[in-house]
Amino acid sequence: MALEDAKKQIDHAFTREDLKGPSFENVFAGAPSFLRRRYTKDLSGADIAVTGLPFDQAVTNRPGTRLGPRAIREASLLQPCDAPYGWGYDVLSDFAIADYGDMAFDYAMPSEVPAKIEAHVGGILATDTACIALGGDHSVTLGCLRAHAKVHGPLSVIQFDAHTDTWADDDAARVDHGTFMYKAVKEGLVVPERSVQIGIRTDNPDPIGFNILDARAVHAKGLEEIAAQAREIVGSNPCYLTFDIDALDPAFAPGTGTPVWGGMSSAQAAMILRALAGINLTGGDVVEVSPPFDHMAITAIAGAHVATELLCLWGWTRR
């Protein structure tokens, strides 16, 4: 059946009629939507939407993550033929998933971007559709958190990252990928004592109340134990999961703005994500994929798999 479908499927990003089901379109051909889902601004009937936030003007080091959403979509074309491995259900067939495309914004007005993101993601959530975002640098998460907190109230956060991103910054006009989580806590969007940061391996003297399972803990403890601690910390709270690709060691994710040695392998991240099944996930994002520094799309492939795992985590409690 797959072979027969592959012979006639093309540009499924536009031609597929159903938001559910696999796609057998040739990997090397056609328009690259995320997991070959249909590009659409009409979310009627959609359960969850994937959208791109191609902004990278808040970086402290290497730019290029504005190209991340496009690269992640292309890398995702390796996956839509089969159910995601190991979950015991097929999120692609059980849920209606749409690719909402990218957010439009004026690149010359970076100070306007957080509010644009809040409105963009908020517009998706207003249709009773969940949202997974593809960054972009990590500053984009602030607008996502604002939109989700308006719907779900103060959130627990699970943050995979090499950096805490909690550097103090009380200037509302600044847009910075290293201070957004500080602002999110100060605005009451995030409950830090019910949140956890996984994979941290850079110093910040004030974690402002976050629980930290650093990279050393990930390597020293069992991965099931790390996931169990994270699940216990967030409990049943509405939870947002943000995955900075630099949580992975540069050997597994070279294409990122601020790489730090000693991080997780892609296998470790996959096992932890899988073991988080059961959290009350409301939405999430994958950020900091920078294709100009990527080699053979290694980082984009990792980002695409993380985004797929977020879909599976979201669907786990709703299947």
Q: CB–CB of 282/242 below 8 Å?
A: no
Domain range holding 66? Answer: 2-316
Alpha-carbon 17 to chain mean position: 26
Residue indicated by tokens 């100070």: 111
CATH number reported for the structural domain that contains residue 48 in this entry:
3.40.800.10
**What is d(CA 162, CA 166) in angstroms, rounded to the nearest whole number?**
12
DSSP line for the chain: -HHHHHHH---HHHH---SSS---S-TTSS---GGGPEE-S--TT-SEEEEEE---TT-SS---GGGHHHHHHHHHTTSTTSPPTTSSS-HHHHS-EEEEEEPP--TT-GGGHHHHHHHHHHHHHTTT-EEEEEESSTTHHHHHHHHHHHHH-SBEEEEE-SS--------TT---TTTHHHHHHHTTSB-GGG-EEES--S--S--TT-EEE-HHHHHHS-HHHHHHHHHHHHTTS-EEEEEEGGGB-TTT--SSSS--SS-B-HHHHHHHHHHTTTS-EEEEEEE---GGG-STTHHHHHHHHHHHHHHHHHHHTT-
pLDDT per residue as tens, the chain (319 positions):
576 777 889 999 999 999 999 999 999 999 999 999 999 999 999 999 999 999 999 999 999 999 999 999 999 999 999 999 999 999 999 999 999 999 999 999 999 999 999 999 999 999 999 999 999 999 999 999 999 999 999 999 999 999 999 988 888 889 888 889 999 999 999 999 999 999 999 998 888 999 999 999 999 999 999 999 999 999 999 999 999 999 999 999 999 999 999 999 999 999 999 999 999 999 999 999 999 999 899 999 999 999 999 999 999 999 9
pTM over 0.85: yes
Name the domain count of the chain: 1
